[in-house]
Structure 1
Amino acid sequence: MKHEQIDGTPAALVELARLLGVDTSFCGWDGVERPIESRTLRGVLTALGVAAGTGVEIESSLAEQRLAPWRRLLPPSVVIREGSEFELPVHARQGSATSVWIIAEDGARFEVPQHGDAGETRDVDGRPVSRLAFTIPTGLPLGWHTLHADDDGRTGEAVLVVTPARLRTPWLAAGRRDWGLMAQLYSVRSSRSWGIGDFADLGDLAAISGSQYGAGFVLVNPLHASEPAPPVEPSPYLPSSRRFFHPLYIRVEDVAEYAYLPAEARSVVEALAARQHPANLNVDRLDRDSAYAAKLTALEAIHEVPRSPARAQQFDTFRAEQGQGLSDFALWCALSERFPVDAAEWSIEPRGPQGPFAAAHRDGLAGRVEFHSWLQWLCDQQLETAQRAATDAGMSIGIMHDLAVGVQTTGSDAWTLRDVLAQGMTVGAPPDMFNQQGQNWSQPPWHPGRLAESGYAAYRDMLRSILRHAGGLRIDHILGLFRLWWIPAGGGPGEGTYVHYDHEALIGILALEAQRADAIVIGEDLGVFQPWVRDYLAERGIFGTSILWFERDNGVPVPPEHYRQQCLTSVNTHDLPPTAGYLAGDHVTLRESLGLLGRPVAEEREADRAEQATMFAAVRERGLLPTTEDGPALPVQQTVEALYAYTALTPSLLLGVALVDAVGERRTQNQPGTTDEYPNWRIPLAGPDLDLVLIEDLPANPRFAALVRAITP
């Protein structure tokens, strides 16, 4: 067979890569098409479990990949849209009597009729196999069903998921516009916090913004689980697990058993709280480790208090509902307390919760497993309370969670979900105009084939957990559900390639789980993407994201009426400074101090001023700024309000108001391209002069009220 060769890469290797959804070239931010090196393709294929080291291996793998579907009676899993007729390929032994049927979630049985005679036939391991076409009926209910097939005694089954053609929720049906706060929860504290914003603070933030200011939602940073004990990773976008939550956010005093602590234990907990409360007044840096250590000590004491029969039953029910996933996560937490991340025990094969390392310690750590399961139950209860506070305050959506792109390579998910993650790979982004070296996010990617083989169970369970007490979900880098930039271990960010996923399955399952939770979904669809992706997401009822500073056409700000309706539109994002800081050029000053500029600082400042000037001109044209004054010369707050008023002129159904802008904060929360060079994710909420801002201050905050007036009728 003749293969196409690309820039010296073996032609058969190119064909094998394409067959497995691995790009052999990519178009950079500058529009130039660049070939992917052979060593990168071989590394990615190896991570996919496909031998590609030699020419003989490549030809053998090609033959095996072409034959693989013929070896299976049914596909590994099938994801379809409701109301659509689907032709199911079944590979049966030639001449056999083959039947196919579906058992739905509720136990109902549906026969799947064969469509026409046998099609193509191939020799598979010395036996003729025919491809048969069966038609899955259009009237199946939404949900997770099971396909069954029988080929004269040879049986097979596969997961069948029927997803919404388009996400539908009560809020979407109403077609109303809502605005909401965007906040980094850990930075938003009250006088009752332990130095870090918590779930109770989230409920109070929702209650104030909903009942007093008319907000429809609060979008918070990812609340995913981190390490089980200090020190913990400060970035909420580099979690240990995306399915479970961070006990750092538990409000200790709200745990029911706290009221029944013995006097001596209660005194200890109260002393811990007293030592942490002064940290609420610190406007310089957040100290997660101190807060978490104190909370864990207090929670261990509360855990010793016997639960009432009703509470015990609720906990047992929670553990049963969460199943093996919770048990494995809690086991990882217990093991991590005992064995450092670099301990030799973690390397025992096969790794993961089914391996000998886990088996040797599961019984002995049963008490700690129960404790860490209990912490997740508390997180679940307090998140439920926060969402109830939001809806009771009149919010139409309530709490909106954020889903990070991936997880740590040494975290819980990397261990418990090892079978559906690609080993030896991390994800990131290719070089672009902002990061000329590219980015490595140090997160292992989903293995597309194994994820399908598993029936997408881990992906489904993760979504269900996050959506359990949520009215909305933001997906960070939603383009990762279409393709991800894989980087082989030891390679630089520029030495990767894109690997494609079954987006029809991943987006469909996302829509199904969100619809079942009555939640809306917002995709962060910024950056380099294929133009059709936005149209596809809109077709499926997934909202996009627009940031004022990024919405330009050939350098000119996009008129507000040209913004998307199905979109969350805001002035800024957590990777930019608060608007007051952006107007002052703080981002240029910071990047210069960190050596992150790609050109002289004078050029950078001039370009920044020019960009802002074009935006001010567009805002003036709408009568939102005086026509005789330059934007930066105006009071900062007036300019911030005008920019938000500009977003209110768009047809976007969701408007986001950054809490930092509502109180006048200037400091950057996160500077991309840095780790410890800048205190990312450790900046507490403060006002323009570093004056302390607590949740109790928000009801009477004049800046907050003025900014809300700027975007509401």
Structure 2
Amino acid sequence: MSHETTPDVIPAELIELAHAHGVRTEFYGFDGAVQQVRASTLVAVLEALGVPATSSRQVQLSLALTRDDEWRQVLPPTVVVRQGVDTTVPVHVTDGAGVDVWAEIDGAEAGASSRGRRERRDFTQVEHYVEPRTIDGRRIGRATFAVPADLPLGWHTLHASAEGSEVRTTLVVTPHRLTLPPAVEQAQVWGLLVQLYSVRSRTSWGLGDLADLADVAWLAAHRGGADFVAVNPLAAAEPTPPMTPSPYLPTSRRFLNPIYVRVEDIPETAYLSAADRSLVEWSADPVRDLATDPGPIDRDVVWEAKKAALEVVFTAPRRAARQAAFEAFVEDQGPGLRDFAAWCAISEHLGGREWPRELSKPDAPAVTALREQLAERIEFYTWLQWVADEQKASAQRIARDAGMKIGIMHDLAVGVHPEGADAWANGAYLARGVEVGAPPDMYNQQGQNWSQPPWNPRALERAGYRPYRDMLRTVLRSAGALRADHILGLFRLWWIPGGSKASAGTYVAYDHEAMVGILCLEAQRAGAVVVGEDLGVFEPWVRDYLADRGILGTSVMWFEQENGGPLPPEKYRHLTMASVGTHDMPPTAGYLAGEHVDLRERLGLLTEPVEVVRRRAREEREVFVRALAERGLVGEGASEREIVEAMHRYLRQTPSALLGVQLVDMVGERRAQNQPGTDQEYPNWKVPLGDSNGNPILLEDLFESQRLRSLIAALNATG
């Protein structure tokens, strides 16, 4: 296109169009230098947003439409406000025409006293003159109305009536600040950071499950005094092999992976006939011994066995109350659950074959026909979500009953698999032809492409944010807390045009007031704490904004540095979850030994001579140990165990509200769970929990570990 003839000069109209749609035309790189976005990237991203821009003429037409777009709408697509804050809403009608504006308050949102009825709240017009515009031959005026500051929290409907017609839109009232539990506000609490699949027991089927999660929580509370257990995303994966091992690339962020279900804990299992019970036991036989296998976890083998057993239990009759509970769950989850279950059944039906075009949308005629044909399998996958949800709720109940102040902290991945259930069901709200990733930084100098389709902010707003809300509501069910991976994505995401290098992308802005506000609203309704993973490149105001909304940030000791050494504990933020490391790094024992350098050298990931990287790693270790010694936390010639414990005692001295302790650090594990930049070269997300020699540690033996008990004692002695 003509824009490419002079790559360094982008037409002013294209820049204006990009800015009008939240597309950055330049950004600050990790080195602090301003980077200009290429014209071809701007065009591709605008096209993905549904804004034609492939020629100068299209840019001009799109810009003309964009300038007057809001004037063509009586009400905005969605109105999101904070409770208690004076806000106004613009209303566009024929110039001089009278207009009435009111909100219909959802009684279920307003509280028990209003449940079952919808209250009307009239809005008052305020004096705020704006020059009328002529739009499509009609003189349009803008009337401004005040939004009552005392509207109840929740999802309501905004109405405007003028000239004999009425329009409506979604009105969302969000909390000004997420209310935190008093325990989190008053004193630091600590908990475990756990990769659930890796924590196996003698009764799980070769992979940690929801019953194991409940046991970990109970034991951590009773034997350690922990107040939460944070787990990897338990989101759904493929229903047929191969199952994507990464919990951060799910087929659906909303629904659960039934591989985590404990078959024996489903009530109907107890009432199986002898023959059916034998079928369940035979299904378990091939995977029982996997609990002690030191090799990589094989999800496909585990799921094949568990799925066969679950199919048997599914056929068992349910008591009247149980059946009613199942039906209530299906009704509560609505069309989203039915679409997800249909996607699973169709995927299974296709047996790994490419989806034909006629099945590309949930409402396609061919899909409707398949829904009828596969009705029983759809009900099976629906039922799986119900039993998984029940066991998830049980884990939280057991955690709280054990005395935990928070309980289970679930994890929300930043996106979904491009060919998964969410991408299929929510296709109308996702941008196509682009993928989400990250720009180049000091660790990934080529940038990162996560291969995930992003929300289309325009489509999401037009939909009243319903897909986003429904996803959050389901994830927050029975959650004491939620960790939002890459929460910066609620402000802006790095969009990469399809077929381009990760570095050839740009940032696209989202309405963070809406995205963060809705997250706060749904978390407050669920009574959950929110932790945002706010690492990486970001504008300084973002962390302040999240803190003002009551959302905790993330502080990783290895990354929190000042003047070439670790940040002093007293300088840590209060509203944060502190930890020594992350799941994308080796456990602390391995990191102290420089095993991240050895691994990256072995995998050919180093961009500098290995001697230089090793020397830098040794110097980093020495600086951190020296800082620990200066505070009297370690002595001369401290052992690896003493250094690991000292680092956690260091974090105990911070004002951080939460302290997350990786379970791998408690047992001396040295192997990384994930090595960024690799796929098949390393067994990412498949490493079972083990000791310093890689020997498997089962849940039954976990709290007998001397190293674990020693670290717990260190944590509680300084708490």
Give me the TM-score of the superposition, normalised by structure 1. Answer: 0.97
Specify the code of the residue in structure 2 equivalent to 1:619: L
Distance 2:497 2:406 in 1: 41
Aligned length: 703
Tell me the SS of whatever aligns to 1:211. helix
Distance 2:247 2:70 in 1: 40
| TM-fit CA distance, 1:698 | 2.1
Residue by residue over 1:57-76, the C-alpha shift from the partner in whole angstroms, topping out at 9 and shown as x without a partner, is 00100000111101110000
**1:394-433 to 2 correspondence within 5 Å?**
394-433=403-442
Equivalent residues of 2:194, 2:662 under 8 A apart:
yes
Specify the code of the residue in structure 2 equivalent to 1:44: V
2:269 equivalent among 236, 248, 258? 258
Distance 1:710 1:148 in 2: 59
Specify the code of the residue in structure 2 equivalent to 1:540: R
Query: 1:531/1:200 Cα in 2 relative to 1: closer, same or farther (>3 Å)?
Result: same
Q: Which residue of 2 aligns with 1:635?
A: 639
2:203 equivalent among 180, 192, 199? 192
Distance 2:547 2:431 in 1: 30
Equivalent residues of 1:171, 1:396 under 8 A apart:
no
In the alignment, is residue 560 of structure 1 matched against residue 553 of structure 2?
no
**1:216-227 to 2 correspondence within 5 Å?**
216-227=227-238
1:680 equivalent among 684, 694, 701? 684
Distance 1:456 1:567 in 2: 27
Equivalent residues of 1:118, 1:130 under 8 A apart:
no
Specify the code of the residue in structure 2 equivalent to 1:58: V
In the alignment, is residue 293 of structure 1 matched against residue 297 of structure 2?
no
Q: Which residue of 2 aligns with 1:358?
A: 367
**1:419-498 to 2 correspondence within 5 Å?**
419-498=428-507
In the alignment, is residue 273 of structure 1 matched against residue 277 of structure 2?
no
Query: 1:366/1:236 Cα in 2 relative to 1: closer, same or farther (>3 Å)?
Result: same
| TM-fit CA distance, 1:623 | 0.2
Q: Which residue of 2 aligns with 1:348?
A: 358
Specify the code of the residue in structure 2 equivalent to 1:7: D
Tell me the SS of whatever aligns to 2:103. strand
Residue by residue over 1:417-437, the C-alpha shift from the partner in whole angstroms, topping out at 9 and shown as x without a partner, is 001100111100011111111
Deviates more, 1:168-177 or 1:72-81: 168-177
Residue by residue over 1:339-378, the C-alpha shift from the partner in whole angstroms, topping out at 9 and shown as x without a partner, is 2555252x237x3211233222111111111110000000
Residue by residue over 1:85-130, the C-alpha shift from the partner in whole angstroms, topping out at 9 and shown as x without a partner, is 1111001111212000001111111001111265321111111110
Distance 2:183 2:177 in 1: 11
1:208 equivalent among 212, 215, 219? 219
2:698 equivalent among 678, 694, 707? 694
| TM-fit CA distance, 1:554 | 3.9
In the alignment, is residue 162 of structure 1 matched against residue 173 of structure 2?
yes
Tell me the SS of whatever aligns to 1:114. strand
| TM-fit CA distance, 1:415 | 0.3
Equivalent residues of 1:144, 1:159 under 8 A apart:
yes
In the alignment, is residue 660 of structure 1 matched against residue 660 of structure 2?
no
Distance 2:30 2:23 in 1: 19
Specify the code of the residue in structure 2 equivalent to 1:348: E
Distance 1:33 1:419 in 2: 34
Q: Which residue of 2 aligns with 1:231?
A: 242
Equivalent residues of 1:73, 1:155 under 8 A apart:
no
Q: Which residue of 1 aligns with 2:83?
A: 82
Tell me the SS of whatever aligns to 2:219. helix
Equivalent residues of 1:429, 1:493 under 8 A apart:
yes
**1:114-153 to 2 correspondence within 5 Å?**
114-116=125-127, 119-153=130-164
Identity of aligned residues (%): 53
Distance 1:622 1:60 in 2: 65
Tell me the SS of whatever aligns to 1:441. strand
Distance 1:262 1:683 in 2: 37
**1:30-45 to 2 correspondence within 5 Å?**
30-45=31-46
Equivalent residues of 1:248, 1:295 under 8 A apart:
yes
RMSD over aligned Cα, in angstroms?
A: 1.4
Distance 1:432 1:356 in 2: 46
Task: Please list every run of 5 or more consecutive structure 1 residues that lacks an aligned counterpart in the other structure.
Answer: none
Residue by residue over 1:169-219, the C-alpha shift from the partner in whole angstroms, topping out at 9 and shown as x without a partner, is 334675232100000000001100100000000000000001111000000
Distance 1:97 1:621 in 2: 73
Distance 2:350 2:261 in 1: 25
Residue by residue over 1:541-578, the C-alpha shift from the partner in whole angstroms, topping out at 9 and shown as x without a partner, is 00011111000124221101000111100111100101
Tell me the SS of whatever aligns to 2:121. strand
Distance 1:117 1:423 in 2: 40
Deviates more, 1:296-305 or 1:331-340: 331-340
Deviates more, 1:478-487 or 1:115-124: 115-124
Q: Which residue of 2 aligns with 1:594?
A: 603
Q: Which residue of 1 aligns with 2:316?
A: 305
Distance 1:164 1:574 in 2: 32
Deviates more, 1:377-386 or 1:168-177: 168-177
Deviates more, 1:612-621 or 1:368-377: 612-621
1:671 equivalent among 672, 675, 693? 675
Distance 1:289 1:504 in 2: 41
Tell me the SS of whatever aligns to 1:494. coil
Distance 2:182 2:77 in 1: 35
| TM-fit CA distance, 1:638 | 1.1
Distance 1:118 1:98 in 2: 15
Distance 1:689 1:553 in 2: 34
Q: Which residue of 2 aligns with 1:178?
A: 189
| TM-fit CA distance, 1:692 | 2.2
Tell me the SS of whatever aligns to 2:106. coil
| TM-fit CA distance, 1:654 | 0.5
Q: Which residue of 2 aligns with 1:27?
A: 28
Specify the code of the residue in structure 1 equivalent to 2:376: G
| TM-fit CA distance, 1:699 | 2.6
Distance 1:481 1:641 in 2: 35
Equivalent residues of 2:523, 2:529 under 8 A apart:
yes
Query: 1:695/1:117 Cα in 2 relative to 1: closer, same or farther (>3 Å)?
Result: closer
Specify the code of the residue in structure 1 equivalent to 2:660: G
Specify the code of the residue in structure 1 equivalent to 2:259: L
Distance 1:393 1:590 in 2: 40
Deviates more, 1:356-365 or 1:214-223: 356-365
Q: Which residue of 1 aligns with 2:552?
A: 543
Distance 1:507 1:300 in 2: 40
Residue by residue over 1:512-534, the C-alpha shift from the partner in whole angstroms, topping out at 9 and shown as x without a partner, is 11111111000111111111100
Specify the code of the residue in structure 2 equivalent to 1:555: G
In the alignment, is residue 69 of structure 1 matched against residue 70 of structure 2?
yes
Q: Which residue of 1 aligns with 2:113?
A: none
| TM-fit CA distance, 1:152 | 1.4
